[in-house]
Amino acid sequence: MTRTIKLADGKSIPALQWGNGSGGLNGKHDPALEYGITALRSGVKAIDTAELYKTEVATGEAIKQVGAKKADIWVTTKTHLDCCSAVPATAEAIKANVQDRLEKLGFKPDLLLIHNPFVVEGLKIAQFWTALEDLVLDGTLEGVSLGVSNFRPQDLEAVLGVARIKPVVNQLEYHPYVLTHLQPVLDIQAKHGIVTEAFGPLTPVLRHPTGGPIKPILERIAERLSKETGKKVDTAAVLLLWTVGKGVVAVTTSSKESNIKKIVQVDNELPDLTKEEIDEIESAGRKVHFRYYAEHMTEDFPAPNLPEDL
């Protein structure tokens, strides 16, 4: 099976994806090509890339080299005209940026995101969104879904206030230890049918100093699944199952073939967690706050007054 999540525009997005971004590849073209080929040959059905990662060319080339049909591989990319750019704040500049994305990939992506809400000086985020909508309507991005990334409540409200086409996803750091902070974002998304995409979904396993209060819960579930399936299931796999069990797309980045194959194992070979297990992980996670990518979400959106561990 390939787990999918239905988007508001009717498309079905793969729930487990491999990212070729800065988490493990440092934006280098050759490794992104090499590991992209490995991912596709391992059975990965979705690749997340971006202008900022400098891996769009490698994404298109990997699909070509393995002989895959583009229609069978979901590709997400992101545009990165931000506050530090010297590009003039015009709709023409946005169109040129989007056309550069298409040229580097060699095709239209399935999903195009605004990488962050801090757009070029003089151009409000609502204007940026309107310019992207215009590109859908004029045919440049016909058939492409639009979304956002790292959007706080105020950013979502600004876009939704003008949107003719609502964003279908918001990609942000998402795992049990940021749930309390994200609740206002999640409430807006639920109201408007916006799906959450998680980057850094394995942060509690990979980056938290101790693993925090969900660690023993993940270990217990991993032991249960290992016994029931006869396969070695670790806590990272359990956390990915929790993420998709929440109706969230999980995007995880790795250059290790064994970890890349784990995405496929979770997708194809492991059963869903029970509702009780999903709720138990969430309840424990909401009692602490630990964010790894702090620069994306904390400006004018303060973190909750919670400990980082218990």
Catalytic sites, residue numbers:
53
The amino acid that residue 254 corresponds to is S
Give the closest residue to 172 by CA, choosing from 161, 157, 183: 183
DSSP letters along 99-144, please?
Answer: HHHHHHHTS--SEEEES-S-BPTT--HHHHHHHHHHHHHTTTTTT-
Q: Are 86 and 58 in contact (CB under 8 A)?
A: no
Can you point out the beta strands (E) in the chain?
4-6, 12-14, 16-19, 46-48, 74-79, 111-114, 145-149, 169-173, 195-199, 249-252
Question: How many residues does this entry show for the chain?
Answer: 310
Cα maximum dimension of the chain: 59
- Interstrand relation of 249-252 and 16-19 (parallel, antiparallel or unpaired): parallel
In whole angstroms, give the CA distance from residue 201 to residue 209: 16
Backbone angles phi, psi at 214, to 5 degrees: -85, -10
Distance CA 108, CA 99 (A): 9
Cα distance between residue 17 and residue 111, in whole Å: 13
Tell me: is residue 115 an annotated ligand-binding position: yes
H/E element, 257: helix 257-269
Q: Are 282 and 239 in contact (CB under 8 A)?
A: no
Q: Is 143 left (phi over 0), alpha (psi -120 to 50) or beta?
A: left
Residues within the annotated binding site for substrate? 115
Residues within the annotated binding site? 115
